[in-house]
Homo-oligomer: A and B are copies of this chain.
Amino acid sequence: MYRIGELSALCNINKDTLRFYEKSGLLQASARSSAGYRLYSEQDKDILCFILRAKGVGFTLAETQELLSIEIDKESKACSDVKQLVDDKLTEIEAKIAELKCFQKSLKTLSNACCGGHESAVHCTILEALEQGSNDVRYEHSVRQGDQ
């Protein structure tokens, strides 16, 4: 059994994060010492590694918890359940990549148009683009939201 400091050192993670995962329902220590210290088993360590790997491929803690609940009750779950989570995440990540690429394109256009010299910025093409809004620099992400 590992105490919290040992497990956190072993897995390169903050002790507080481990307590936070417990509070979030992701990982309970499987025992407590007589003094109330958390005691983690090998299996607890394996679950922590699972959590960290899920995090490492981009899953949020809530999604990781879903994965974990499948992992713990494999028999009654289907492969398609697991694959669905992965594919949904993939779709989400691809959307984020597309958004960032849109930013990247606009920023490249701005950067390439600017001389970058040490003269005054009075006629800077970047500032002009932001003042007037050219075709190259749209702002597609500002969508009207609800009001009180």
Contact residues of A with B, CB < 8 Å? 8, 11-16, 46, 49-50, 52-58, 67, 70-71, 74-83, 86-87, 89-90, 93-94, 96-97, 100-101, 103-104, 106-108, 110-111, 114-122, 124, 126-127, 129-131, 133, 137-148
Bound CA–CA A54/B16 (angstroms): 37
Bound CA–CA A17/B110 (angstroms): 27
Bound CA–CA A118/B77 (angstroms): 8
A contacts with B: majority SS? helix
Number of identical monomers bound together in the oligomeric complex: 2
6 A-B contact pairs sorted by A residue (CB < 8 Å): A70-B127, A71-B127, A74-B120, A75-B121, A78-B121, A81-B121
Are A71's CB and B141's CB within 8 A? no
Q: Which 7 A-B pairs have the closest CB atoms?
A: A56-B139, A58-B103, A83-B116, A12-B144, A57-B106, A77-B121, A83-B114
